[in-house]
Structure 1
Amino acid sequence: MKYFKKLLFVTLSAVVASSCKKLDLAPTNTFTELNFYTTSLNVNNALNNNYSGMYNSGMFFYNDAMSDNAYAPGGGATGNVTAVASGSYNSQLDKFLNDWSFHYSGINSCNLFLGNVDKNKTLDAATITRMKAEVRFIRAFHYFYLITHWGDVPLITTIISADESKTQSRASKATVLSFITTELEACAAVLPSKDQYSSADNGRITNGAALALEARVLLYQGNRMADVVTICEKLMNTSGTYGNYKLASDYNNLFSNTAVNKNNTETMLALQYQEGVTGRTWGDYYDFAPISVGARDNGMAPTQELVNDYIMLNGKPITDPTSGYNENNPYVNRDPRLTATIVYDQYKFLNPDGSTQIIYIKPGTDPNSNRPNEYRPAVQSVSSTGYYWHKYFDPNHLPALASGLNLHLIRWAEILLDYAEAENSLGQMNADVWNKTIMLLRQRAGFTDANALNYPGNADMTNLIRRERRVELAMEGTRTEDINRWKLSEIVLNGYAHGAKFSGDPTVDNGYIRAQLRRFDPAKNYLWPIPYNDLQKDANLIQNPGY
């Protein structure tokens, strides 16, 4: 991770010229817009700045709280995603302004880099070409998230003035989509593969990452499945050209073992962090863990709806009366990814020192009179659903559970899921596709029963693949977009998000906790409103319908 040891944020000094000098004459003792990029160190720092501004841990994790995977109680930034999930928001919600500003600030930073980097004459041409491709990828990444949540958005690809920023109109989603895919294809054509980078450059954007993002972009459109298949097959069948990717051997280690997390065969794109007190860390797990593990409180908890989608070891969903599921002993013989992802009642939590503690969550069961983890209605310091997160627990954490683990933005597992979904949507799912995708994911998860591993033939393959995607990628920031593109949000976000069977009233939802009442209006909520402040600044922006 040497390349990312320090992420330096850079700013350009204002050009100051005296009345007796030409306005385009740059001072020799300070950096200006004219000479900043002539220094190679500045170019590298500016590139690092674009990497660090691509995404952040809060956006990564709390995406799930806007879906049926999780519930986030409380106010502040957490309250924003709570409002989105409940449907009780308008264009003045901070979440929309913050995300819109985050992505357009990132785009502006990318445009500054691309518009100035050719002023450097000390870096070789191949290096500059590669750097430009990395930044073009990051810019495409920003635009992808903008069109995913807002549809039509302003398309800005050059440096513009502050006054020009107030006169931007929305380009059609189709136009921006074409720009994104064209950019990603161009990046894939010039970027090295993961295997061609040295260890010092581990974490850089690769040609494989460019194709992987393009596959996700096209998958989200719903009508480009043949193109998704083509891209996935290019990654799966072109040995070495785009990197030699495969599933890591252990699912849990991808998220909790430092060595595996940072250097494995599966990661295609990740937010880079560093271990140690001087490194770049994230601290969200401070509000995710069981209280007895060291958490401050509980800012986001898994839902019962997510727990229910983990199948039995025999491959059957818990709704199948022949599955062997026991509602009174609900966590046994389940998909091993459940235990890797979610902390449930009586969970055996492995501490960093190798000892084990039992996490008592069901009210009245903890022999410790302090009952640190037990569910207590209206007590925000403990889980509001009766579940905590285990995924991304860092055994080497710093105080306040700060972590230097990388956050996986795209994994090889997603390519297999993209491929399975696209082939199935085209009516081309068969045993061969199954064996290359779902079977491999289940084998890695720990399934051994032939009924879970073998191609199920005439099963409801659409829902099976969607369930597989949900549990494989839970807590990795993709669920909200998935239920939106499948047009499921109007179903799964209308009604209560539930927690464990701890409510004590069997006449209300069979005793399952009612965590949050949610409402989703399909006439408008599939797109977010343009932030109110931006509408006031730019008369050319037009609000999305219904807001």
Structure 2
Amino acid sequence: MKKSLLKYYTGVVFAVLLLSTSCNELDLAPTNKFTDLTYWTSEAKASAVLNMAYSQMFSAGYFFANERLSDNLYEGRGNTNEKIITSGQADAALGRFADEWRNCYEGIKTCHIFLENIDRVPNMDENLKTRMKAEARFIRASLFFRLASHYGDVPLFDHDLTLEEANTLPRSPKSEVIDFVRKELNEVVNILPTKQNYAAADNGRITKAAVMTLLARTYLYENDWVNVASISEKIMNGDFGHYELFPDYAGLFLPQNEYNSEVILDMGYVLTLRTWSEFYDAIPLSVGGRINAFAPTQELVDDYVMRNGKGIKEAGSGYNEEDPYINRDPRFAATIVHHGYKWEKGDKTISTIYIKPGSSKAAGASNLDEYAGPGQNSTATGYYLRKYFDQTAPAGMEAGLNLILMRYADILLMYAEAKNELGQMNEDIWNKTIRPIRQRAGFTDATALNYPGSNLQNIIRRERRCELAIEGLRLFDIRRWKTIETVMNGYPHGAKFAADNTQYIQLDMRKFNKDRDYLFAVPQSQRDINKNLTQNPGY
């Protein structure tokens, strides 16, 4: 499908105007409030400002960086921000803490500029103006929710600030921030269209279902199961537009299937105009990768069940440690590249990926992808990534593939988890949620599809991990489950390629301080400017 360029052009005139105003370090307000009457003269110029807000809502960098803060991925090279955090060595001067804070407030500022100036546009259609205001309010709410999720208490405000205000504003309690987010979402959902009521040229715009999915997440992250179940059920019933599982799991993440029936909200990218390149350092070197900077862990690999639905350690699973990749959950091959993987290139040719040490020589192939120990160009874990590989990307992996932020399978998983935690899970709910997700994945064995009746919390959590792997959500799941205290403490592992292929690779130790690490530090650079900003415990 040809993509509209709607969201990707932010307007040269607006960019120049923004560059002409200087911002304080907080990025909460320009030094001279943006009130240029000559700018707000057309719908197109107003759209350019809103488009900028869309682009600031999230980024590919944070999408994958959040996975690297979880037990799904391991960073094998360099002393990156995420590796410093996961090793327990982060302090308030860390770049990730400062960047995320700054980027969120930059986006919030853009939303305020838009909301406070769009009424100046002459002869603008009132319905369009009202809808665009609702979009901006959603983006602002999503940014405040992101800030609260990472930092807890944060400065909360609903208008553009003066420099003095920005330099003195204290942190508001997290509960007040979340209340503001929910109030905004409950108001704008009545304004925004459903996905089906948008024209094709507006693909990617915020919909009623996107609003309600974000609202559900605000309750999910607090384990408020009653509200999670209620909102998810309404989305499933079609109250906010029609969604259904896309029939092909691997195809869900391919460029030819963007904006499909499952996608509720994504980040739009277009080749050459707006791209992301994180996978340049995540795919096998033999098929175009540069180095391997991050790779799946053995712990993630082990959570993929067998085709009969049994975990690899369960009796009767059929798992063979010496041939570990056969008869596994079909989503495994759609997500993770293992030794012997058949890599399909964009031209439909197949390349075998040799990762086990010594295997390529016997096959007469390149050894570029072989595990060679820590700190090497090849994988540090014995695995590479496949999910989100853009076959249409040029050399260098400047991908134009959209990244999905919300999809219908997550709604089903949230509903199943909520009903189970409420003690209300039964065969009927299983058949509306986990069963269709597994059927779509390619499971056919009755033991994998039928209602198990017991051990449901573990099954649902594992299902969530494998269905949504490498989609930026795992960090928030292990935080709310409190399992982060266990899974991010100790040594993660890679494939059985150490000690002449007799032992599992032991990777660098991770440390998680339960009294500190649930929250990011308030950036020291911000506290140096604003003495009213307090610090989170332990920093």
TM bucket normalised to smaller? over 0.9
1:91-490 superposed matches below 5 A: 91-222=92-223, 224-238=224-238, 241-256=239-254, 258-260=255-257, 262-275=258-271, 277=272, 279-366=273-360, 367-368=363-364, 370-457=366-453, 459-490=454-485
Secondary structure of 2:190's partner?
A: helix
For residue 36 of structure 2, what is the aligned residue in structure 1? 33
Gaps of 5+ in 2: 21-33
Q: Partners in 2 of 1:131 and 1:412 — Cα distance?
A: 24
CA contact 1:4–1:272 (8 Å) conserved in 2: no
Aligned-residue sequence identity (percent) comes to 46
**1:48 counterpart = 2:44:** no
Q: Partners in 2 of 1:50 and 1:122 — Cα distance?
A: 23
Query: CA offset at residue 3 of structure 1?
Result: 4.8
Query: CA offset at residue 117 of structure 1?
Result: 1.1
For residue 27 of structure 1, what is the aligned residue in structure 2? none
**What residue identity is the alignment partner of 1:235?**
I
For residue 518 of structure 1, what is the aligned residue in structure 2? 510
Secondary structure of 1:191's partner?
A: coil
TM-score, normalised by the number of residues in structure 1: 0.92
Deviations along 1:233-272, whole A, 9 cap, x unmatched?
111113xx4211000000101112x221x13100000000
CA contact 1:289–1:298 (8 Å) conserved in 2: yes
Query: CA offset at residue 319 of structure 1?
Result: 1.3
Residue 66 of structure 1: which of 47, 69, 79 is its match?
69
Q: Partners in 2 of 1:295 and 1:268 — Cα distance?
A: 30
TM-score, normalised by the number of residues in structure 2: 0.94
CA contact 2:269–2:401 (8 Å) conserved in 1: yes
Query: CA offset at residue 426 of structure 1?
Result: 0.7
Distance 1:119 1:60, change over 3 A: same
CA contact 1:38–1:120 (8 Å) conserved in 2: yes
For residue 494 of structure 1, what is the aligned residue in structure 2? 489
Gaps of 5+ in 1: 17-30
For residue 25 of structure 1, what is the aligned residue in structure 2? none
Q: Partners in 2 of 1:441 and 1:504 — Cα distance?
A: 39
CA contact 1:71–1:516 (8 Å) conserved in 2: no
Query: CA offset at residue 32 of structure 1?
Result: 5.7
**What residue identity is the alignment partner of 2:496?**
K
Query: CA offset at residue 14 of structure 1?
Result: 8.6
**What residue identity is the alignment partner of 2:376?**
Q
Q: Partners in 2 of 1:73 and 1:542 — Cα distance?
A: 34
CA contact 1:14–1:32 (8 Å) conserved in 2: no
**What residue identity is the alignment partner of 2:350?**
T
Deviations along 1:8-28, whole A, 9 cap, x unmatched?
253474999xxxxxxxxxxxx
CA contact 1:71–1:302 (8 Å) conserved in 2: yes
**1:534 counterpart = 2:515:** no
CA contact 2:283–2:384 (8 Å) conserved in 1: yes
Q: Partners in 1 of 2:171 and 2:203 — Cα distance?
A: 37
Secondary structure of 2:57's partner?
A: coil
**What residue identity is the alignment partner of 2:299?**
E
Query: CA offset at residue 463 of structure 1?
Result: 1.2
Query: CA offset at residue 203 of structure 1?
Result: 0.7
Secondary structure of 1:185's partner?
A: helix
Q: Partners in 1 of 2:387 and 2:497 — Cα distance?
A: 23
Deviations along 1:162-192, whole A, 9 cap, x unmatched?
2211111111111111111111111111000
- Count of matched residue pairs: 520
Q: Partners in 1 of 2:9 and 2:493 — Cα distance?
A: 40
Q: Partners in 1 of 2:423 and 2:236 — Cα distance?
A: 20
Query: CA offset at residue 75 of structure 1?
Result: 3.2
For residue 28 of structure 2, what is the aligned residue in structure 1? none
**What residue identity is the alignment partner of 2:85?**
V
Deviations along 1:465-496, whole A, 9 cap, x unmatched?
11111011111101111101110111001101
**What residue identity is the alignment partner of 1:271?**
M
**1:8 counterpart = 2:5:** no
CA contact 2:301–2:332 (8 Å) conserved in 1: yes
Q: Partners in 1 of 2:65 and 2:159 — Cα distance?
A: 31
**What residue identity is the alignment partner of 1:227?**
N
Q: Partners in 2 of 1:4 and 1:268 — Cα distance?
A: 18
Q: Partners in 2 of 1:449 and 1:42 — Cα distance?
A: 56
Q: Partners in 2 of 1:505 and 1:544 — Cα distance?
A: 46
**What residue identity is the alignment partner of 1:502?**
F
Deviations along 1:136-172, whole A, 9 cap, x unmatched?
1111111111111111111021010222111111111
CA contact 1:287–1:295 (8 Å) conserved in 2: yes
Distance 1:341 1:157, change over 3 A: same
Q: Partners in 2 of 1:80 and 1:69 — Cα distance?
A: 17
Secondary structure of 2:492's partner?
A: strand
